[in-house]
């Protein structure tokens, strides 16, 4: 005989309770009317939720493929032997098939290997460290080139304008660059062992240089322009003007000066980011200084990737390490929580060591810059970086 005060034990009782809502206060079965669906004629709209991060419209694609891909390794630059047949370089990439053809080619592989070699040359090096070898004449000429272009900014002040981006004075600065490009390049080629062999090299080198500082029509700058500066350096290496003993100086002196000039141009003329990934990019403008900067910090005793969140470290060491300088610049120009405006950098700060950061960024550079048609459609091909039809 069952106890009247006991709980029901029958299967039907269990079945009933499984489908009947219970009151949280007394435990008794309760029912509630099904809410009517919202319609546009309702008195109050549904609540609007703001996500912590913006939709990943421009988030890096093929993330798993990037992680599983091999780390780009340093490769020697194949020398270009005289006699040279210099030509005006042209654009050749228009499709993903062209991208695949470029990366399968000799210069596609060795250009990425050149970037990896530059990165490897500055492992554990501060910007102020003495160079392993005195700067070569070509490196000194490159520094003079960047100094001359920096001086042009002082003589070309911004013009009054009401737009957020694109001060038209940048076009005047770029005109001065165009007018002086051949002479500046001639000073570099004159440092060759046999300058006569490089007669006419300005025809091929100038387009790379002119496209290294942004587009004068759109008044913008992005990773494609930065890649053209790397291509300019690669061409100099092919001509023997830059050699492997120069690589540390090229990164710690030349590229650091180039980055400083670009920051000056970006701030002075409000250059618009070209093809920015928004919050899903490392930086609105640059990629290579993150690669080189991570290489500088490899095996550092105290600073880890998570150290970017320490404002004292950024303040005291951003002048020595490019990665920290780039993060400090991002924090200066972007407002709000770091994890919201720079989720990629925030995620990278969780990587355990700088070696993994460096190798991951090299893979990401290949996938997100060198394999993107909108960026690489502006890449130039001539006799020094050849385009192979098949």
Residue 16 has pLDDT above 50, yes or no: no
CA dihedral 300, 303, 304, 308 (to 10 degrees): -140
Q: Span 342-364, mean pLDDT?
A: 94
pLDDT (tens digit per residue) in 177-233: 999 999 999 999 999 999 999 999 999 999 999 999 999 999 999 999 999 999 999
Residue 5 is predicted with a pLDDT of 45
Distance CA 120, CA 379 (A): 24
Distance CA 347, CA 55 (A): 16
* Of the candidate ranges 16-25, 94-103, 194-203, the one whose mean pLDDT is the lowest: 16-25
Quickly tell me which residue has 């008195």 as its tokens: 43
| 27 torsion bin: left (phi>0), alpha (psi -120 to 50), beta (else) | left
Residue 232 is predicted with a pLDDT of 98
Residue 177 is predicted with a pLDDT of 97
Residue 349 is predicted with a pLDDT of 95
Residue 277 has pLDDT above 90, yes or no: no
Q: Span 39-67, mean pLDDT?
A: 51
Ordered structural domains, the chain, with CATH: 121-381 (1.20.120.1150)
Residue 123 is predicted with a pLDDT of 97
Residue 18 is predicted with a pLDDT of 47
pTM for this prediction: 0.83
Residue 37 is predicted with a pLDDT of 60
Residue 54 has pLDDT above 70, yes or no: no
Residue 61 is predicted with a pLDDT of 55
Per-residue confidence at 26, pLDDT binned at 50, 70, 90?
low
Distance CA 24, CA 41 (A): 34
Residue 28 is predicted with a pLDDT of 65
Residue 9 is predicted with a pLDDT of 45
Residue 55 is predicted with a pLDDT of 39
Q: Span 262-276, mean pLDDT?
A: 90
Per-residue confidence at 27, pLDDT binned at 50, 70, 90?
low
Residue 13 is predicted with a pLDDT of 44
């Amino acid at each position: 005989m069952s106890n009247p005060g006991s709980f029901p034990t029958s299967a039907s009782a269990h079945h009933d309770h499984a489908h009947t809502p219970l009151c949280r206060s007394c435990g008794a079965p309760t029912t509630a009317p099904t809410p009517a669906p919202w319609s546009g004629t309702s008195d109050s709209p549904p609540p609007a939720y703001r996500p912590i991060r913006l939709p990943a419209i421009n988030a890096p694609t093929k993330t798993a493929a990037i992680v599983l891909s091999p780390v780009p390794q340093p490769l020697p630059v194949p020398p270009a032997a005289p006699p040279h047949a210099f030509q005006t370089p042209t654009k050749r990439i228009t499709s993903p098939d062209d991208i695949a053809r470029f990366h399968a080619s000799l210069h596609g592989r060795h250009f990425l290997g050149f970037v990896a070699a530059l990165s490897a040359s500055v492992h554990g090096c501060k910007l102020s460290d003495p160079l392993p070898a005195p700067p070569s004449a070509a490196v000194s000429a490159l520094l003079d080139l960047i100094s001359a272009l920096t001086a042009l900014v002082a003589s070309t002040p911004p013009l009054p304008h009401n737009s957020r981006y694109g001060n038209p004075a940048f076009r005047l600065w770029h005109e001065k660059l165009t007018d002086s490009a051949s002479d500046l390049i001639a000073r570099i080629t004159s440092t060759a062992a046999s300058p006569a062999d490089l007669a006419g090299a300005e025809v091929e080198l100038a387009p790379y240089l002119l496209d290294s500082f942004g587009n004068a029509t759109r008044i913008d700058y992005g990773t494609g322009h930065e890649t053209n500066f790397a291509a300019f350096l690669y061409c100099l290496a092919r001509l023997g003007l830059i050699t492997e003993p120069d690589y540390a100086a090229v990164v710690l002196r030349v590229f650091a000066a180039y980055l400083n000039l670009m920051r000056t141009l970006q701030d002075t003329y409000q250059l618009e980011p070209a093809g920015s990934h928004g919050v899903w990019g490392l930086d609105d403008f640059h990629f290579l200084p993150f690669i080189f900067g991570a290489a500088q910090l490899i095996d550092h005793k105290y600073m880890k990737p998570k150290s970017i969140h320490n404002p004292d470290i950024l303040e005291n060491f951003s002048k020595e390490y490019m990665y920290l300088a780039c993060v400090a610049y991002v924090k200066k120009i972007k407002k709000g929580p770091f994890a919201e405006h720079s989720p990629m950098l925030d995620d990278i700060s969780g990587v355990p060591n700088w070696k993994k950061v460096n190798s991951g960024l090299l893979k990401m550079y290949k996938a997100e810059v060198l394999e993107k048609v909108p960026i690489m459609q502006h890449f130039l091909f001539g006799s020094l970086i050849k385009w192979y039809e098949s």
